[in-house]
């Protein structure tokens, strides 16, 4: 079983590329946002817990997200692996993921990191806001806060996966097809 962590700043193209990665390599796409929404819609115990936290304006704790991911690992059949999108976001989450996989004799195959400069993040998110009508993406101060949060909290994962010999950086500049080719060339090595 392969376990890929899809990584990169907001607007890097993770969502755009994930579908092609899933299709080509027969992976289950585990997006934490989608997982939360489906658990809430299904009315599971985890979903009810997440819903009450979100409705109160609180973040869903790591344990809840980790529980959903672990349940998906156990229940998903007929795939060759998983594409983790939005998890892990911190070193602590990466360590939990390692323990979770180690318990079944598995480990992270690679961290596929799509990288773009901060200026392009602003441009892409502003463009996405107009196309998708996402109000949270339309305000420059919110976008800047997301970028700074990414640099402070999530970017340390680069060193974590680099030290583990699992970090693969993809140049996110150029056309969607150019970036996809770079991703496929990297993933074909595994």
Q: Supply the residues annotated as catalytic.
A: 14, 89, 128, 134, 146
Give CA–CA dist 53/141, Å, rounded: 25
HEC secondary structure over 54-97: HHCCCCCCHHHHHHHHHHHHHHCCCCCEEEEECCCCCHHHHHHH
Both structure tokens of 22: 């899933």
Which H or E run includes 132?
helix 118-132
How many other C-beta atoms are found inside a 10 Å radius of the C-beta of residue 177?
Answer: 9
Please enumerate in sequence order all residues whose Cβ is within 8 A of that of 41, keeping only pairs 6 or more positions apart, or say none.
Answer: 47
Q: Which among 33, 102, 110 is positioned nearest to 73, based on CA atoms?
A: 102
Cβ neighbours around 154 below 10 Å, total: 19
- Residue 143 and residue 72 in contact, taking contact as beta carbons nearer than 8 Å: no
């Amino acid at each position: 079983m392969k376990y890929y962590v899809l990584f990169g700043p907001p607007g890097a193209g993770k969502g755009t590329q994930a579908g092609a990665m899933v299709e080509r390599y027969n992976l289950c796409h585990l997006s934490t946002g989608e997982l939360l929404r489906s658990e809430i819609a299904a009315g599971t115990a985890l979903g009810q817990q997440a819903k009450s936290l979100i409705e109160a304006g609180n973040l869903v704790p790591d344990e809840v997200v980790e529980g959903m991911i672990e349940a998906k690992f156990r229940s998903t059949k007929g795939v060759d692996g998983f594409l983790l999108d939005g998890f892990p976001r911190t070193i602590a989450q990466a360590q939990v993921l390692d323990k979770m996989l180690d318990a079944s004799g598995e480990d992270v195959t690679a961290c596929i990191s799509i990288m773009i400069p901060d200026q392009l993040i602003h441009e892409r998110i502003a463009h996405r806001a107009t196309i998708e009508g996402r109000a949270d993406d339309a305000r420059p101060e919110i976008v800047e806060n997301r970028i700074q949060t990414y640099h402070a909290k999530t970017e340390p994962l680069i060193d974590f996966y680099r030290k583990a010999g699992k970090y693969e950086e993809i140049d996110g500049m150029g056309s969607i097809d150019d970036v996809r080719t770079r991703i496929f060339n990297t993933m074909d090595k595994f």
